Amino acid sequence: MSRSRSAPSGGSSAGSGASGTPALHKLIVVGLGGVGKTAIIFQYVYGDFISSYDPTKADSYRKKIMFEDEEINIDVLDTSGQEEYAAIRDNYYRCGEGFLCVFSLTERETLDALDDFIEQIHRVLDDTEIPIILVGNKSDLERSRAVFSEEAQAKADHWKIPYYETSAKTRHNIDEVFTHIIRSITQRKRAASTAARTNRRRGGSGKRRGCVLL
Ligand SMILES: Nc1nc2c(ncn2[C@@H]2O[C@H](COP(=O)(O)OP(=O)(O)OP(=O)(O)O)[C@@H](O)[C@H]2O)c(=O)[nH]1
Ligand SMILES: [Mg+2]
């Protein structure tokens, strides 16, 4: 497991282990400041809870895991929820193969804000099928809950995406969320490579989405 203070390098990761190197899948975690993006990633990668709050600029984490009997690498990009970084989000989003859209169950406006994030992801990638999961974090703070599960589920249904409630503090549903998004990404890549092979057999040209961070 490794952590770097810089954004990950660009490049397509569509090739998935055929050459013997582990497949690499790129996740991006987005949402307003303070909702627990960094805490969720830290709990998943290091099995620990950060109780202090140190606003993120952009960090990336890499973790090697066994998934469906195969060794894979995942790159997790931890974005900033601070408004001053909003303008550079487009650049980051281009590299994403799957997104966790996080809000805090204790702050209603953090859920409302996610419509804009999801629209931006769809627009930048020109892809409304990109794997996204809605994540309501801080489920351990039940007494401060400001969003009913049904309301968040309704938003997830609207966007046709799954919904999970997590706690980065207790680790509730943390592994489940990452497993779900990785499964969605791998299924999608498999379908795309099957389609590309079929297309090549029929003499078509393969089109791939690139991603470059400036
Ligand atoms: N009780 C509780 N506190 C949490 C949870 N997740 C995060 N926190 C706390 O909420 C604060 C903000 O968490 P961060 O993970 O830094 O939030 P962030 O979304 O990364 O914020 P930015 O980097 O500014 O975008 C910290 O004090 C965390 O300890 C949780 O599940 N339960
Ligand atoms: Mg952070």
Range(s) of the domain holding residue 13: 3-201
89 lines ligand 1 (CB under 6 A): no
| Residue 209: inside a domain | no
82 lines ligand 1 (CB under 6 A): yes
CATH code at 174?
Answer: 3.40.50.300
Listed residue (81, 79, 86) closest to 60, CA to CA: 79
141 lines ligand 1 (CB under 6 A): yes
Enter the pTM of the model: 0.89
Ligand nearest to the CA of 81: 1
| Residue 51: inside a domain | yes
| Per-residue model confidence (pLDDT) at position 144 | 98
Atom of ligand 1 nearest to the CA of 138: 31
106 lines ligand 1 (CB under 6 A): no
The torsion angle over the Cα atoms of residues 140, 143, 146 and 152, rounded to 10 degrees, is 40
Atom of ligand 1 nearest to the CA of 170: 31
| Per-residue model confidence (pLDDT) at position 6 | 39
| Residue 118: inside a domain | yes
CA angle (76, 78, 82) in 5-degree steps: 165
35 lines ligand 1 (CB under 6 A): yes
| Residue 85: inside a domain | yes
Burial (0-12, 13-18, 19+ Cβ within 10 Å), 32: buried
| Per-residue model confidence (pLDDT) at position 136 | 98
| Residue 166: inside a domain | yes
Return per-residue pLDDT of the chain as tens, 214 residues. Answer: 545 543 333 333 334 455 678 899 999 999 999 999 999 999 999 999 999 999 999 899 999 999 999 999 999 999 999 877 777 888 889 999 999 999 999 999 999 999 999 999 999 999 999 999 999 999 999 999 999 999 999 999 999 999 999 999 999 999 999 999 999 999 999 988 888 888 877 776 555 556 665 5
CA of 84 from ligand 1 middle (Å) equals: 18
168 lines ligand 1 (CB under 6 A): yes
Ligand nearest to the CA of 39: 1
Instruction: Count the domains in the chain.
Output: 1
| Residue 109: inside a domain | yes
| Residue 213: inside a domain | no
Atom of ligand 1 nearest to the CA of 80: 25
143 lines ligand 1 (CB under 6 A): no
| Residue 210: inside a domain | no
